Structure 1
Amino acid sequence: MADSVISPDMLKAIWHSQMHDEEKWALNMKLLRAAGLFVGSILLMRSYGDLMAI
């Protein structure tokens, strides 16, 4: 089996690279907004979907 050790320093480096690079930060924000809109629409339809029916 492959030895997959994830150290805290490796996680810090990944976090730092994703947060402090402008291009990656912009992409991450777009993904977070899209995921939030998707989850929000699911919750809205589950809660009020019967009121929206014709």
Structure 2
Amino acid sequence: MADSAISVDKLKAFWRSQVHDDENWAFNMKLLRAAGLFAGSIFLMRQYGDLMAV
């Protein structure tokens, strides 16, 4: 079996470093909230933007 460039152990280590480290988790949550707010505002403006026009 050929060695893959990304092994399962590397993925598990990356997941642990991002989720179980408090500093990284806090940053990732801020990033996820910002991305969610951005996506939500795009959705809102696309759906109801014509109602907001003056």
Shared fold per TM-score greater than 0.5? yes
Unpaired segments ≥5 residues, structure 1? none
Runs (5+) with no aligned partner, structure 2: none
Alignment RMSD (CA, Å): 1.0
Aligned to 1:49, the other structure's residue is in SS state: helix
Q: What pairs up with 1:28-43 in 2 under 5 angstroms?
A: 28-43=28-43
Match of 1:19 in 2: 19
CA deviation profile, 1:19-44 (whole Å, cap 9, x unmatched) = 00000000000000000000000000
How far off its partner does 1:49 sit? 0.1
- Give the fraction of aligned pairs with identical amino acids, expressed as a percent: 75
Q: What amino acid sits opposite 1:47 in the alignment? A: Q
Q: Deviations over 1:1-54 (max 9, x none)?
A: xxx700011000000010000000000000000000000000000000000000
With normalisation by structure 2, the TM-score equals 0.91
State the 4+ residue runs in structure 1 displaced beyond 4 angstroms: none
Specify which structure has the higher proportion of helix. 2
Give the stretch that moved more between structures: 4-13 or 26-35: 4-13
